[in-house]
Amino acid sequence: MFPFDIFPMQLTKAAITDDIDGMENLGIYEVAPEDFALCEYVCTTKINIQDKIRTGLDLIADECM
């Protein structure tokens, strides 16, 4: 499902809550939204995870770069 040493759910939660520190700690810089495609496929609640990660990355780009 997710081959990296990253917790996809915790990272997504951090992205949803705009928690920049949390995202950085959980490894947002190591992923691209497409990495979450499989997670999105199996997600029981049908949350658009890729979209959430994209928003998180954009937020970091706005705030930190």
Partner 1 sequence: MKFLENIVHKMEPKFAKGGKLEKWHPIFESFATLAFTPAHVTSKGTHIRDGVDLKRTMIMVIVAMIPCLLFGIYNTGHWEMVAAAGDRSLDFWSNGGEKFLLGLAVVLPLIIVSYGVGLTIEFIFGMKNGHSLHEGFLVSGMLIPLIMPADVPLWMVGVATAFAVIIGKEIFGGTGMNILNVALLTRAFLFFAYPTSMSGDKVWMAGTENTAVDGFTGSTALGDLASFMSEKPVFENLAEYTNNYSFMDSLMGYIPGSIGETSVIAILIGALILIATGIGSLRIMASFTIGGYLMGLMLNGIGGNDFLMLPAHFHLVIGGFAFGAVFMATDPVTASQTATGKILYGLIGGMLAILIRVLNPAYPEGVMLAILFMNVMAPIIDHYVVQSNIKRRLKRLKTT
Binding-site member from 12, 23, 31, 40 for partner 1 (CB under 8 A): 40
- Residue 5 or 63: the one with the smaller Cβ distance to partner 1 is 5
Nearest distance from C-beta of residue 62 to partner 1, angstroms:
20
**Smallest Cα–Cα separation from 59: which of 6, 4, 16, 30?**
16
Cα separation, 57 vs 11, in Å, equals 11
26 binds partner 1 (CB under 8 A): yes
Residues that bind partner 1 (CB under 8 A): 5-7, 9-10, 25-27, 37, 40-46, 48-51
